[in-house]
């Protein structure tokens, strides 16, 4: 259980919005003292999922929640929601090397490995929400 401190929403409608998602995620991660490795993992996962939202979901939005776990550790949750075609075969989509768009096929599965928590909610024809959670390994400064 975590307390949510602040929430940001970023729309994802064009390529440049992926940069905005990355910057918002990085700024928040830096502000609560995520280490450089943790920041890089978080930003990379955000970049993958934001691009999925744009390319596969025809755009959507990212919701970034800054929270605090019971033991005081800062947490960041990123939820990417689109109203695109959804994912018909979840197992296939999570298989390394499978891509429906000519990519490396590591975005979704890689983001799952980078994150501490991963949740995929999809319905064909309705859309997809992918949520990843990150915890700072060391207590926040101050």
Partner 1 sequence: MLCPKFARRIANPQRDDLCRAISPKGAMEDNRMTAGSDPTIRDSVTAFLKDHRQDIERVWASTALFTARRPADAAEECSELLTGIVEVIVSGGEENAAATGFASVRPVLTSLAARSAGGPSGSDRPDVTVLKGPLLRLWHDRAPAETAYRGDLLLSNVLNTLRIALLEIELSAGADTILAQRAQLTELSTPVIKLWDGILAIPLIGTLDSTRGQTATESLLEQIVAQHARVAILDITGVTAVDTLVAQHLLKTAVAARLMGAECIISGIRPQIAQTMVQLGIDLGEVATRATLADAFARGLSIIGMKVSNDERNAG
Strands 117-123 and 127-135: what pairing? antiparallel
Show the tokens assigned to 112: 């799952």
Strand-pairing partners, residue 3, are 68
Distances in Å between the alpha carbon of 15 and those of 53, 78, 79, 103? 11, 18, 18, 16
Q: What are phi and psi of 114, to 5 degrees?
A: -75, -30
Indicate whether 10 belongs to the interface with partner 1 (CB under 8 A).
yes
Looking at the Cβ atoms of 20 and 121, the one nearer to partner 1 is 20
Indicate whether 90 belongs to the interface with partner 1 (CB under 8 A).
no
The contact mask relative to partner 1 for 91-110 (x = CB under 8 A, - = no) is -----x------xx-xx-xx
Distance CA 106, CA 103 (A): 8
Binding residue for partner 1, selected from 4, 89, 113, 117, defined by CB under 8 A? 113
The contact mask relative to partner 1 for 54-73 (x = CB under 8 A, - = no) is ------------x-------
In angstroms, give the least distance from the CB of 75 to partner 1: 15
Binding to partner 1, residues 15-44 (CB under 8 A):
15-16, 18-20, 22-24, 26-28, 31, 36-37, 39-41, 43-44
Distance CA 114, CA 25 (A): 14
**Shortest CA distance to 43 belongs to which of 20, 22, 12?**
22
Chain-centroid distance of CA 25 in Å reads: 9
Query: Which stretches of the chain bind partner 1, using CB under 8 A?
Result: 6, 8, 10, 15-16, 18-20, 22-24, 26-28, 31, 36-37, 39-41, 43-44, 47-48, 51, 66, 96, 103-104, 106-107, 109-111, 113-114
């Amino acid at each position: 259980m975590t307390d949510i401190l602040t929430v940001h929403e970023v729309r994802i409608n064009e390529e440049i919005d992926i940069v905005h998602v990355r910057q918002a995620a990085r700024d928040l991660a830096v502000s609560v003292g995520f280490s450089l490795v943790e920041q890089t993992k978080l930003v990379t996962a955000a970049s993958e999922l934001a691009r999925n939202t744009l390319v596969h979901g025809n755009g959507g939005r990212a919701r970034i929640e800054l929270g605090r776990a019971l033991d005081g550790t800062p947490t960041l949750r990123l939820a990417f929601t689109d109203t695109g075609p959804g994912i018909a075969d979840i197992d296939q989509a999570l298989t390394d090397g499978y891509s429906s768009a000519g990519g490396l096929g590591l975005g979704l599965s890689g983001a799952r490995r980078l994150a501490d928590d991963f949740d995929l909610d999809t319905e064909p024809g309705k859309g997809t929400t992918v949520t990843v959670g990150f915890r700072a390994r060391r207590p926040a400064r101050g």
